[in-house]
Chain A
Amino acid sequence: MPDLVQLTINGKAVSAPKGTLVIEAAKQVGIEIPAFCYYEGYSLQAACRMCLVEVEKMPKLMPGCTLPVAEGMVVHTESPKVVDSRKSMLEFLLTNHPLDCPVCDKGGECELQDMTFRYGLGESRFTDIKQHVDEKQWSPLVYFDAPRCILCYRCVRVCEEGMGVQALGIGKRGVATEIIPNAGDHLECDECGNCVDICPVGALTSGTYRYKSRPWEMNYAGTICTHCSDGCKTTLSVRNGAIIRANNRDRSGINGEFLCAKGRFGYDFVHSPERLQTPLIRKDGKLEPASWSEALSLVAARLSELKSRGAKFGVLGSTHTTNEENYYLQKFARTGLGTSNIDHQRTGDVPALLDALSGHENALATVGDLYTAKSVLVISSDLSQQHPLLAFQLRANYRHNRAAVYTVTPGPVRERDYAARSVVVAPGAELDLLPALADELKKHGNLVIVFGPAIKGGAVHSLVAFGDSLGIPVKYICLVSDSNSRGALDMGLLPDLRPGYQAEAQPGLALPEILAAPDLDALWVVGSNPFETAPLASRDCFVVVQDLFLTETAQAADVVLPSASAYEKSGTVTNTAGEVQRLKPGPKVMGAKSDLEILGLIAKEMGLDLGIWSSDKVFEEIRRTVRGYNVALPVIATGGASPTTPVNGHVPASRPDLIQDSGDTLFTSGTLGRYSNVLKSVMEAPGTLYKP
């Protein structure tokens, strides 16, 4: 590298690229310069003076967080002058700090505590009475306690730069300075809680977690958010078997520390009083509680009996269950019951994309690619509402790399604030506009195209043909709605495609036809709620439902089996970009069983040999047999995301007419969202699309 600068830090020789900040150069050689306001990825602030270092030949101490390295620079980070100044800075920060650590949420994981412990004086010369300011509630989810604030402005920056919301500002001045919310006395914002998360002290606290626990009294489970399809890693904090917080402070996962309102706060459905905790069997027209053994035997007996007389089955899967469960369910249907009447609510045309990309290499983008691509084209999606992580990645790419972002959407989107071009077109006319953009797109060198469910069937092929015509590397993301919508497709919850998009020799009925079949004998619904929108035509049909809640569908069932949510089980899910990640169980809800266990137990009861129903074993089978899923085990086992490989070969079209966007916003999440009081409590809920 030509532009390396040589300098010395604490006697260690360091070489760093021109423009590197001293604080980062020090990090490279294992020297920590303490900092509050400096935060990787966000604009420089130089507000806290915690990072002051001594630089030879410079008259004053310099902030290491804004000082770029220079040739021959000699830096001392632990000289008596520096040590002394840190003590003074901390003494200052604590002049009006309430020091209510024993009751502060942040106690135990507070950066001010840690710094004081490591660098503080231990005594204060300030004896003035502390100025109290009452804490304020800014929303159901965000509280502000001004005296605890050390004015690092991290919250302001994460909201403005990271989220593009700009809901936080700085009020008053001097000693009276306070963080202020955008709507006078409250917040009108995304309610993502990233400000709470990034606050180094307990000044911003979360409405769901505050005063609930000490951080060391919880168990942690790093799993994957079960709401949208972006696949954020979320670390559940579990106390006495209940989730009381979700965040991702260790920045593991494809999302770093980012989470949206659903991933951070929308876990309360798990402990909803409406969770089913015992199987229900219809007796004299009413659903009555029953034991697991009674319910499972009944289901097994009825299914065996129906199977023996060649009955007509329908099986509907879920977009939130794991790959293992989806795989096992389709195997159950296809080999156990001998039917390919299996489907789920589709939300994106992945089969068309894979077919169009046959013969292409490296054409599936990952979430990470959205941060590194030179240009990104978003078609038909309100990303900030529907795919918050992807929107966050795009903003970061623009902020750090000046990526050129283009949007072509049926209404205005937040990305227009920084997009190179943001065009609103009538639905259906999205692709017509592309040729006009071609020359501009070519210039950037590479491109990721992200498209929503409105682009399906032939349109996907046209889109890929357009991408090919550009003559630059183009990658694609086909957006789907839910946490494992992608996995449902990949695992063959389709009447005409088997796992890995292999054509089904004898295609079965699709979802609407199953519901409309007047002669359907049995319907088995796992984790979805089809009756919410469409009735069941068959009058004499045995209906089994596995679900967390007594949904419209469960209410009409003959047997209801209480299932566990994604937060209570192991297995893998695949995000909208086709990256496979592992779930880890956090809490346990009494009485519920994972869908995989339920399926396994029914299979056993029926005497079917479908293989062992442990998620690890089923995953092994998936890796062996499903095209594209021979993913790197160590990556997944250590909590990473491993991309699936494209199937590369012809994929038959699979009913694009059945694709429908879930329509979920930042604050809704299908049936799950209906049982999250937290999501319903924010005043922005349910949110609207295309109204930035």
Chain B
Amino acid sequence: MTFSQELESRFAKMLDNYPPGRQKGAVIPMLIYAQDEVGAVTPELVQEIAKRLSVKPIEVNEVVEFYSMLHRTPLGKHHIQICTNISCQLTGGDELWQHACKKLGIGHKQVTPDGLFSLEEVECLGACSWAPAIQDGYEYHHHVTPEKLDKLIDDVRQAVKAQ
């Protein structure tokens, strides 16, 4: 399996960061960045990373199973994570979640048919001071209301249409 030039050099640098013999520590960042490029953690990707880090594939699989931000199937172009943990819940996170499900017609860890959006209900995003918070890809949105969420979604749709 080969990756883009950019990712390859990123991997090379990453492996340099770990003391000799401890390269397997790179398994999480490698999985995340490779997932961004490949679209999902495919079985081939697991094999590839295991090979590069000289570990058995099952060790990589254990990590994939553990972390919810690693996905075995492709997500939407915009992966929207909505927090419903305590601070967000108290400030309308639950309603936001319901609203998003209804608006997009999908549920937890599902993808819209056009592949544009996917949804995930998550535990704490670490943004309690600005609750309710959501995350679109790597981007945070604070004090989100159903209206703000609508706008975010509509803007994306508009932009796609405009292309």
Please list the residues of chain A having a beta carbon within 8 angstroms of any beta carbon in chain B: 166-173, 180, 182, 184
Chain B residues near A166: list those with CB within 8 A: 56, 58-59
A182 vs B46: C-alpha distance in the bound complex, in angstroms?
A: 12
Chain B residues near A182: list those with CB within 8 A: 56-58, 61
Chain B residues near A168: list those with CB within 8 A: 58
Which residues 25-73 in B have Cβ within 8 Å of A in the complex? 43, 56-59, 61-62, 65-66
Please indicate which of the listed interface residues B43, B58, B62 has the most CB atoms of chain A within 10 Å of its own CB: B58
- Beta-carbon contact of A169 and B66 below 8 Å: no
Give 6 A-B pairs besides A167-B58, A169-B58, A180-B62 with Cβ atoms closer than 8 angstroms.
Answer: A166-B58, A169-B65, A171-B65, A172-B65, A173-B65, A182-B58
- Beta-carbon contact of A170 and B56 below 8 Å: no
- Beta-carbon contact of A173 and B66 below 8 Å: yes
A168 vs B65: C-alpha distance in the bound complex, in angstroms?
A: 13
- Shortest CB-to-CB span from A52 to chain B, Å, is 26
- Shortest CB-to-CB span from B23 to chain A, Å, is 16
A interface, by DSSP: helix, strand, loop or mixed?
loop
B interface, by DSSP: helix, strand, loop or mixed?
helix
A182 vs B61: C-alpha distance in the bound complex, in angstroms?
A: 8
Nearest opposing residue in chain A for B56, CB measure: A166
A184 vs B46: C-alpha distance in the bound complex, in angstroms?
A: 11
- Beta-carbon contact of A170 and B43 below 8 Å: no
- Beta-carbon contact of B61 and A171 below 8 Å: yes
Chain B residues near A180: list those with CB within 8 A: 58, 61-62, 65
CB<8 Å pairs between A and B, sample of 19: A166-B58, A167-B58, A169-B58, A169-B61, A169-B62, A169-B65, A170-B62, A170-B66, A171-B61, A172-B65, A172-B66, A173-B65, A173-B66, A180-B58, A180-B61, A182-B57, A182-B58, A182-B61, A184-B43
Chain B residues near A173: list those with CB within 8 A: 65-66
- Beta-carbon contact of B57 and A171 below 8 Å: no
Chain A residues near B66: list those with CB within 8 A: 170, 172-173
6 closest Cβ pairs, A-B complex: A171-B65, A169-B58, A182-B58, A169-B62, A166-B56, A173-B66
- Shortest CB-to-CB span from B102 to chain A, Å, is 28
A169 vs B61: C-alpha distance in the bound complex, in angstroms?
A: 8
Chain A residues near B58: list those with CB within 8 A: 166-169, 180, 182
Range class of the B interface residue count: under 10
A171 vs B59: C-alpha distance in the bound complex, in angstroms?
A: 10
Please indicate which of the listed interface residues A167, A169, A170 has the most CB atoms of chain B within 10 Å of its own CB: A169
- Shortest CB-to-CB span from A319 to chain B, Å, is 36
- Shortest CB-to-CB span from A265 to chain B, Å, is 23
Chain B residues near A169: list those with CB within 8 A: 58-59, 61-62, 65
Nearest opposing residue in chain A for B66, CB measure: A173
A180 vs B72: C-alpha distance in the bound complex, in angstroms?
A: 16
A182 vs B62: C-alpha distance in the bound complex, in angstroms?
A: 10
A171 vs B58: C-alpha distance in the bound complex, in angstroms?
A: 10
A161 vs B65: C-alpha distance in the bound complex, in angstroms?
A: 22
Given A166-B56, A182-B56, A182-B57, also A171-B62 (CB < 8 A):
yes
Nearest opposing residue in chain B for A176, CB measure: B65
- Shortest CB-to-CB span from B73 to chain A, Å, is 14
Nearest opposing residue in chain B for A165, CB measure: B56
- Shortest CB-to-CB span from A495 to chain B, Å, is 49
A169 vs B62: C-alpha distance in the bound complex, in angstroms?
A: 6
- Shortest CB-to-CB span from A120 to chain B, Å, is 31
Chain A residues near B57: list those with CB within 8 A: 182
Nearest opposing residue in chain A for B60, CB measure: A169
Chain A residues near B61: list those with CB within 8 A: 169, 171, 180, 182
- Shortest CB-to-CB span from A334 to chain B, Å, is 55
Which residues 88-121 in B have Cβ within 8 Å of A in the complex? none
A687 vs B62: C-alpha distance in the bound complex, in angstroms?
A: 27
- Shortest CB-to-CB span from A412 to chain B, Å, is 15
- Shortest CB-to-CB span from A111 to chain B, Å, is 25
A167 vs B43: C-alpha distance in the bound complex, in angstroms?
A: 16
A184 vs B61: C-alpha distance in the bound complex, in angstroms?
A: 9
Nearest opposing residue in chain A for B65, CB measure: A171
A614 vs B43: C-alpha distance in the bound complex, in angstroms?
A: 60
Chain A residues near B62: list those with CB within 8 A: 169-171, 180
- Shortest CB-to-CB span from A316 to chain B, Å, is 45
Chain A residues near B43: list those with CB within 8 A: 184
- Shortest CB-to-CB span from A171 to chain B, Å, is 4
A170 vs B56: C-alpha distance in the bound complex, in angstroms?
A: 13
A360 vs B68: C-alpha distance in the bound complex, in angstroms?
A: 63
Nearest opposing residue in chain B for A166, CB measure: B56
Chain A residues near B59: list those with CB within 8 A: 166, 169
A216 vs B57: C-alpha distance in the bound complex, in angstroms?
A: 41
- Shortest CB-to-CB span from A114 to chain B, Å, is 30
- Shortest CB-to-CB span from B80 to chain A, Å, is 23
- Shortest CB-to-CB span from A655 to chain B, Å, is 44
- Shortest CB-to-CB span from A456 to chain B, Å, is 36
- Shortest CB-to-CB span from B122 to chain A, Å, is 14
A170 vs B61: C-alpha distance in the bound complex, in angstroms?
A: 9
A620 vs B54: C-alpha distance in the bound complex, in angstroms?
A: 55
A173 vs B62: C-alpha distance in the bound complex, in angstroms?
A: 10
- Shortest CB-to-CB span from B24 to chain A, Å, is 13
A507 vs B61: C-alpha distance in the bound complex, in angstroms?
A: 62
Chain B residues near A170: list those with CB within 8 A: 62, 65-66
Nearest opposing residue in chain A for B46, CB measure: A184
Nearest opposing residue in chain A for B59, CB measure: A169
Chain B residues near A167: list those with CB within 8 A: 58
A173 vs B65: C-alpha distance in the bound complex, in angstroms?
A: 8
Chain A residues near B65: list those with CB within 8 A: 169-173, 180
A173 vs B63: C-alpha distance in the bound complex, in angstroms?
A: 10
- Shortest CB-to-CB span from A441 to chain B, Å, is 25
- Shortest CB-to-CB span from A677 to chain B, Å, is 29
- Shortest CB-to-CB span from A188 to chain B, Å, is 10
A180 vs B62: C-alpha distance in the bound complex, in angstroms?
A: 8
- Shortest CB-to-CB span from A540 to chain B, Å, is 60
A16 vs B18: C-alpha distance in the bound complex, in angstroms?
A: 39
Nearest opposing residue in chain A for B43, CB measure: A184
Chain B residues near A184: list those with CB within 8 A: 43
- Shortest CB-to-CB span from A468 to chain B, Å, is 37
- Shortest CB-to-CB span from A580 to chain B, Å, is 39
Nearest opposing residue in chain B for A181, CB measure: B58
